[in-house]
Chain A
Amino acid sequence: MRCGGSTELDALLADLGPRIRRGERVREPLPRCATGLAEIDRLLGGGFPRGRLSEVTGAPSSGRTSLVLALLATLTSSGECAGVVDWADAFDPPSARSAGVDLRRVLWVRSRQWRDALGCVERLLATEGFPLVVFDLASAANEAGARLDSEGERSSTNWLRLARQAAATRSALVVVSSERLTGAHAELALEMRPTGARFTGTPVLLEELETEAVLVRHRSAPEGRVARVHLAARSAA
C-alpha cells in the first residue's frame, strides 16, 4: 500500500495512538534442572537453568556436594545423562548411590590437569545428550585457588567460552568451587554457608548438617535471598 502523503500517515498514527508499539520477542522461560530440594528449587526459580553456566561455591562441609548429588539424582532418575568432570577427584560413588544417583547414567571424568579438564567440559557440552555437566573444582584442601593461580588459568575467556558452549547445546553447566571463579559469566551463583552439624544419641552419631544457600548472583531475580537446608547423615556414611 502506498501512502498518499506524510500528513495522512501522521493522522493515522495520531488516530491509533498508543495502540501502536514496536514488536518484542517473547522471552521463553529457561528449562531447568531441579535439585529435588524444594527450598533450593524455589530459590533458583525451579532449578539450575539449562543452557546457562551456574556456580555453587562454599567452604568444606557447606553442603555443595550434597546439593550437586541431589541434582544428579533428580536428573538421572528421569532417564537423562549427566557428565561430571572431576578435577578435584572427589566424587564418591557410594555416597552418590546413597543419594539416589543412577550411576549408570553418569559419565565420570577424572582429569588431572586443568587444561584437560577444561577440554573435557567443552567436549561434553558439545555432545548433545548431556543436559547437565558438573565441573567440580572444589578442592577440600583449599588448594583450588592456588592451583588455578599457579596454572594461570583464571582467565575469564575460558568461562565465556564454556558459557557460550552451554548456551549452544542447551546444557546446564554447574561449576562447583571454593570461591567465585566464573564472574559475570554465571547466570546464577549460589553460596553455601555451613551453620552447624548435629551429633546426637548414645553412642554419639552424626545426625545432620545444617547449611544456608545464599543466592549471591542471579541475572533475573533478586539476589541475597536465603534457603535453609538440612542434610541428613543417616545413609550417607
Chain B
Amino acid sequence: MRTACLLVPDLPLRAELRARPELAGRALVIASGPDARAEVIALSPEAGAAGVRARSSVTQARSICPEVRVQVASPPAERAARETLLDVALSCSPRAAPAPVSGGPFAGEAAVYADATGVGSLFRSEHGFATALSARAAAVGLPGIVTVASSRSIAHLVARAIQKREEVHVLAPGAERAFLDPLPLDLLEPDDEVAQTLTRFGVRTVCDLLRLPRRGLVQRLGPRVLELVTRARGAGDETPLPEARDTNTEESLDLDHPLDQLEPLLFVLRGLLSRILERLTLRGLACPFLDLDLRLSGGGRDVRRIDVSAASRDAKVLLRLASLSLESRPPDAPIESVILSTRGRPRRTDQLDLFRPRGPDPAVLDQTLAELASLCGEDRVGAPEVADDHRPDAFTMDLFRPGSVASGSPSSRKLTSLASAALPRAQRAEGERSSEGLLAVRALRPPVAAEVRVRRGRPDWLRSAVASGPVLEAAGPWRTTGRWWSEDERFAVDHYDVQVADGTVLRLCFDWIDRTWRIDAVYD
C-alpha cells in the first residue's frame, strides 16, 4: 500500500511558534523545564545562528545569546500541533493515523501517515499529492517533510533521511532497497546497548546490518535485534490506516501573566479560535458550539459552553458570542490558562422552502439574539407565546427559532396561510367589510391604579394616569378566578370594558383579593 509520511522534525519549536506567532523571527529556544539547568530541546534558526546549540543548558544559551527568548515546552501545545498534523493529512486523504511517538534523538519529531493509494486521480501524481500535503502543513505553521513510499516504515525512514535536503520525496516502487542500504543505522532508533555493540562490530549502515546472518545476530545481541532488522528491511506493522471519526478539536494556551480584563482575554481567544477554525476548515467541518475552560488564579475553574444555533466557521460571530458570554458572566478571578474546544460537525445547508421567504441567517441571528439579550436581559428577548393559564396577562417567551417553524407547521395552517398570502386579508372572508380589522389591546405593565366611583354596581366615573372622567359605557363584569389553593398565587378579578368620556376605551378590573381597581389594558 502506498503510504505518505508527513514529518515535522522540530515539533516543540513549531508548536510554540504556532501558539505564539509573534515569536517568529526571534532567537527562541524551547527548554525542557522552567529552571535554569533545564536542557534546550529545540531552537530557532536565529538562535542557532547566534551560537546556541541543542542539548545545552538554558544558562549556557543565555550566556551565548543574551537576547534569546526561552519558552518552556508545552505538552498541550505539542498535542494540539500533532492533532493539527493529522487534520492536515485528513484534508488530503480519507485515511490517516499518527505515528508512534519516538524517543531518543527523535523525541522532538512528529509524524503522521496518510494513505496515498489512488491519489493520482485527485492530485495528478504522487508527487502532486506530497506537494499539496507539504503546502497545507506549511500553511498551518507546521512545515515538514513529505515522503511517499511502499510502506509506513520506509516512508518514515526516507523522511528522516532527507530532512534538511529536500521537502518532498517520492520513492518509486522497487527503489526502496537502493535508497535504504546506505542509510546510517541511527535512523532506525536502535537501543543504546545494541547500537554500541553494532558500532563495535563495525556495522554502521542498513546494508551492513542486513548482510549479517539473523541467527548469529540473535545469539549475540538477543531477540531485540530482530525488531531492528525488521525495520531495516522496511517491514513492520502495516495494519490498514483507519478512517477519521474523532472530530474533537482543542486548543489551549498557558498565559505568561494572569489576565483580569476582557480585552486581552479576547485577544487570546481570537488566536485560539482562529487555530480551531483552521483545523475545522481542513476537514470541511464547522463549529456547533464552543467549550471554554478557564483556569483561574487560586485553583478555580470557569467552564462554560457557548452554543451556536447552526454550525459556523465565522470567527467574528463566534468571538462575539464568546465575548457576550464573558461580558454577561465575567470569571471570578484572574485567568491563568485558556482551553477552547469544540466538536466539529458538517455545516448545515439551508433547505429553503418553496413557498416561503428565507429568514435570517442562523449564525447571524445567534449573534443578534445574544446582543439583544445583553442589552435587555435574556428573559426579555424571544418569541412570545400565549401561556396556558387564566391569570391576567399570562404569557411566556420562547427561544426565537424561525427556521424550525417553516417545516413544522401543521398542514392545515400551511394551507390556509398559503391561501391567505395570495389574497389580501380583506378579500379572504366573503362579505367581510374591506375596512374591517380586529380590535387589539395594549397591555399596561404593571397595571395602572385607578380610582373608580361605582353606581348601581357598575363603574360610573374613574380617575387614573391613563384616562379620567365619567364612564360613558361599561360592559361586564367578567369574573376570572383561579389558584384558590395557593395563598400567594390565588387571583379573583372582575373585568369591565369601559369607555371614558375622553374617548379612551379600556379594560378595567377589580381585584377581589386586595379590593383595588386598576387598568390592565387599553383597547387600541
Contacts and interface: CB of A to CB of B under 8 A. Distances in A.
B506 interface: yes
A123 B436 contact: no
A108 B381 contact: yes
A186 B421 CA distance: 27
B443 A235 contact: no
Interface in B448-467: 448, 465-467
Contacts of B398: 104
Contacts of A70: 425, 437-438
Contacts of B393: 92
Given A89-B445, A106-B383, A120-B372, A96 B437 contact: no
Contacts of B369: 107
B438 A108 contact: no
Given A79-B421, A230-B436, A93 B365 contact: no
Contacts of A100: 438
B161 interface: no
A145 interface: no
A98 B439 CA distance: 9
A49 interface: no
Interface string A85-101: 00011111111111110
B375 A61 contact: no
A229 interface: yes
A128 B434 contact: no
Given A79-B353, A206-B497, A94 B395 contact: yes
Interface residues of A, number: 87
Interface stretch (A7-15, A37-45, A150-158): A37-45
A164 B46 CA distance: 54
Contact of B435 (A65, A128, A228): A228
B21 interface: no
A65 to B, nearest CB: 4
Interface in B367-412: 368-369, 371-372, 375-376, 380-386, 393, 395, 397-398, 400-402, 405-406
B448 A141 contact: yes
B365 A103 contact: no
A177 B104 CA distance: 78
A36 B364 CA distance: 30
Residue among B386, B401, B465 with the highest chain A CB neighbour number at 10 A: B386
Interface string A175-216: 000000000000000000010110100011110110000000
A51 interface: no
B504 A61 contact: yes
Given A37-B437, A110-B376, A127 B523 contact: no
A109 interface: yes
Given A61-B522, A80-B359, A140-B448, 11 more contacts: A35-B425, A59-B504, A61-B505, A69-B440, A78-B356, A103-B385, A107-B382, A204-B473, A206-B473, A230-B435, A230-B437
Closest 5 CB pairs of A and B: A129-B360, A36-B425, A79-B356, A38-B434, A38-B426
18 contacts: A34-B424, A37-B435, A39-B435, A61-B522, A61-B524, A65-B442, A69-B438, A74-B425, A79-B353, A80-B357, A99-B438, A104-B398, A105-B383, A108-B383, A129-B358, A129-B359, A204-B473, A209-B505
Interface of B: 353, 355-361, 364-365, 368-369, 371-372, 375-376, 380-386, 393, 395, 397-398, 400-402, 405-406, 417, 420-421, 424-427, 433-445, 448, 465-467, 473-475, 497, 499, 503-507, 521-524
Interface of A: 34-41, 59-67, 69-70, 73-74, 77-81, 88-100, 102-112, 116, 119-120, 123-124, 126-131, 138, 140-143, 194, 196-197, 199, 203-206, 208-209, 227-237
